Amino acid sequence: MAMEQTIVMTGASRGIGRIAAERIIAKEPGTRLVVLARGPVDDLTTMSGKVSVICTDLASMRSTADAAAEVMRRLDAGVLPPMKALVCNAGVQYTNNLTETVDGIEATFAVNVLANHILVRALGDRLGSPGRIVMTVSDTHFGDFRHNLGMVPGPRWFPADALARIGVFPAPERTMAGRTAYSTSKLAVIYLVHEYARRLPPGVAVMGYNPGFVPGTDLARDADMFSRFAMRRIMPFLTATPLATSPSAAGRYLAAAALGAIDASSGAYIDRNQVAQSSSESYNLERERDTWNSVEALTAAW
């Protein structure tokens, strides 16, 4: 009989997260998959009676905290079996650095960083041993042509409390500022992965998962018409080369990371399906601690 376990996941309604969710269900039929999503995921829930959805707006700290509290309530009531993994896969990329959430936070940072932090802080000690937290990051944090093909500027680091405010990057109304906010937010997540590895309970491992450049997904859905066309119709041809990853492969690798099929120690950076080194900039103890302190302060009320 398959082991009963709970996996909580964001970003499972489309793209590589959707593929990963289907893979998890197929590979581990004893898994209860709890999806945190803004809208219904009817086709996923009808695929398996072991999938449930908690309506969550990750751009709202209250909504994210409420979703975490609902997961805890179901665990405490025995509605869900023990929790074994948290997969923070949701991510956004805007065409400016001026989009603000209901909490007054720059939207990229709110979803890509603060929502993850709220979930980790609420659910980290609910994970059984061995437990696993997987956070989707991006190789755009390297900032070189090999990793971003010239499409996304590299990160431009500011203290996290500054990154949480709109307009921190030059020409904030322009697309490049929005993309810089994206790559910088992913660098912030890697800093937090390293800090979580030092702070999580024994037996709970956390790692960053980089799917690589994955054309054909909806990450660029808010971009201009040409960029959307290129991402959906032209760039997928790059998946035949080492420069890009197909959505199906990226989803399989994410599922493998979530299920522990990729051997990685806590704090590791998983590049597609193997452990690798993230950028030299991503190993900075002072920034890691400062980022922790800032996001703790920003999310303290939740």
pLDDT tens, per residue, the chain with 302 residues: 457 999 999 999 989 999 999 999 999 988 999 999 997 776 676 666 789 999 999 999 999 999 999 999 999 999 999 999 999 999 999 999 999 999 999 999 999 999 999 999 999 999 999 999 999 999 999 998 878 777 799 999 999 999 999 999 999 999 999 999 999 999 999 999 999 999 999 999 999 999 998 776 555 555 555 455 455 554 554 555 566 789 999 999 999 999 999 999 999 999 999 999 999 999 999 999 999 999 999 999 99
Nearest-10 crossing angle of helices 61-76, 115-123: 20
pLDDT of residue 225: 55
CB-based burial, 19-38: b 16+ in 10 Å, e otherwise: bbbbbbbeebeebbbbbbbe
pLDDT of residue 237: 45
pLDDT of residue 242: 60
Q: What is the DSSP string of 69-132?
A: HHHHHHHHTTSSPPEEEEEE------SSS--B-TTS-BHHHIIIIIHHHHHHHHHGGGEEEEEE
8 Å CB contact between 94 and 224:
no
Cα–Cα separations (whole angstroms), residue 60 to 75, 84, 102: 23, 25, 6
Token digits for 251? 């989803």
pLDDT of residue 234: 47
CB contact set of 86 (below 8 Å; sequence gap of 6+): 7, 8, 9, 119, 120, 123, 124, 127, 132, 133, 134
Give the closest residue to 1 by CA, choosing from 33, 45, 34, 31: 31
Give the closest residue to 206 by CA, choosing from 225, 230, 190, 222: 190
E-state strands within 187-273? 204-210, 269-271
pTM: 0.91
Give the closest residue to 7 by CA, choosing from 41, 38, 50, 43: 50
pLDDT of residue 226: 47
Alpha-carbon distance 221 to 100, whole Å? 18
Alpha-carbon distance 281 to 89, whole Å? 22
Alpha-carbon distance 111 to 120, whole Å? 13
pLDDT of residue 148: 72
CATH superfamily name and code, 5-298: NAD(P)-binding Rossmann-like Domain (3.40.50.720)
pLDDT of residue 150: 74
Alpha-carbon distance 133 to 150, whole Å? 31
Q: What are the beta bridge partners of residue 132?
A: 85, 205
